[in-house]
Amino acid sequence: MAFDPWSQTYGWRSRQYPGGVLGLSDRVLSNVQEANELCSISAGFFRLARSMMIPVAIENPHCSRLWSMPAWSQILRRSDIDIAVLDYCACGMLWRKRTRFVSANVVLSHLVFQCHGTEVCDFTGKPHICF
C-alpha cells in the first residue's frame, strides 16, 4: 500500500486539527505541510476545472482527513459536485478500502457499490483482507 499522509492511522491529524496536530516532530511536520500544500493545489485545480466545465475527479479514502480540510470541505458543500462511495471489494479486490470519489462535470454515481459484510464480503463471499 502507498503511504497516505491523510490516514487517521498515524494520529498526525484530528477532526479538530485536520491540517496537523500540535507537537509533531520536524520530519513529520514537514510531511504534513507538504501534503497540506498538495491539498490546496488539488482543490484549486478541482475548482478551476469545475468552473471551466472540464470533467474532474479526485479519490481518497472515505474517512480521510483530506475531506475535513477547509479547501475540500467547502467543495463538498457545493450542489454542483457529485460524490460516489465505492468499496474496492465490489471490483474483485480482497480488501474493502471504502473510497470516496468527488467529481464535477462528470457523474460517477455508477461507482456506488458498498459492502455491508462484516465477517464475509457481500461481493466475493470471502473474508476481507485487512491492512
Least distance from Zn ion to the Cβ atom of residue 115, Å: 3
Asked if residue 39 binds Zn ion (CB under 5 A), the reply is no
- CA 35 vs CA 48, 60, 71: distances in Å: 20, 13, 13
CB of 69 to Zn ion, least distance (A): 28
**Left if phi > 0, otherwise alpha if psi is -120 to 50, otherwise beta: which for 81?**
beta
Q: Which residue type occupies 45?
A: F
Name which of 22 and 130 has its Cβ closer to Zn ion: 130
Q: Does 86 bind Zn ion (CB under 5 A)?
A: no
Q: Which is nearer to Zn ion, 35 or 115 (CB)?
A: 115
82's grid cell: 457529485
Is 104 among the residues that bind Zn ion (CB under 5 A)? Answer: no
Question: Which secondary-structure segment (H or E) carries 101?
Answer: strand 98-104
32, 84, 89, 104: residue in contact with Zn ion (rule CB under 5 A): 89
Q: Quick check: helix, strand or coil at residue 82?
A: strand
Residues contributing to the site for Zn ion (CB under 5 A):
89, 96, 115, 117, 121
